[in-house]
Amino acid sequence: MRHVLGIFVTPVQWISSLPGRFGGWAGDTARSHTNLLAENETLKSESLILQQKVQQMASLRAENNRLRELLNTSEQMDDEVLVAEMIGVDPDPYTHHIIVNKGANDGVFKGQPVLDAQGLMGQVIEVLPYTSRVILVADSNHAIPVQVNRNGVRAIAVGGGQLNELVLIYVPDTADIKEGDLLVSSGLGKRFPQGYPVGKIKSVEHDPGEPFAIVSAEPSAHLDRSRHVLLVFSKESLLPKPTKPIEQDSGESAEAEL
């Protein structure tokens, strides 16, 4: 008899317990869903952080490569150099000036040549105790004596006003200058040391009846991307300053530093 009753009672008990079981299952499901949502948000945040770190690592790797190139360049140079970092750019679209984080306290001086790993960038035009202003070779107010590396033909390269352009002025129409020729600093004027890459000829035009050819070049230096530069101390700049006689009241002369 008990067995028979059990057969009928057990299903009833199981059915009567369903609401409680369903409620527990629903609660567990809701908690699991909430946990999954929270975990999903955490994973999204971690993914964004990891992506940012990957981007930063890529940037650091590229910067290390550029610094390595700069170091290789400095090792190949006979002149003493000082590594500086660009910390500012002149916002004026008609001038091409940059600010570097080295100044008079580091021995920087006006007229000092500035290079990157590829070639001459420009020269220092203003010196403050901790920073300096540099005019780039592409600035329309900048000029540099150059020569064709292939044959020694001399010319003057002035800035074309665009970061990717130099213009050679007063080049005779018969001058032996070809597209692809490398221009290097000639050393004339004693402002820039001799032999540093300045640019590469990209076009030579001959206008019939005109005495001068129209010659343009592309700067060797990466003017639009280099962040670290080399300030060059040539052998001449490291020599003691010359002295000049100063007339005194007695008519005699004395030596004094310039």
pTM over the 0.85 mark: no
Q: 122 burial class (0-12, 13-18, 19+ CB within 10 angstroms)?
A: buried
- 206 pLDDT tier (thresholds 50, 70, 90): confident
CA angle 219, 222, 226 (to 5 degrees): 150
Is the pLDDT assigned to residue 106 strictly greater than 70?
Answer: yes
Domain boundaries, the chain: 11-76, 80-238
Q: Which fold has domain 80-238?
A: Thrombin, subunit H (2.40.10)
Average pLDDT over residues 144-153: 92
47-51, 73-77, 102-106, 152-156: lowest mean pLDDT where? 73-77
Q: Buried b vs exposed e over 60-69: b needs ≥16 C-beta within 10 Å?
A: eeeeeebeee
What pLDDT is attached to residue 141?
A: 94
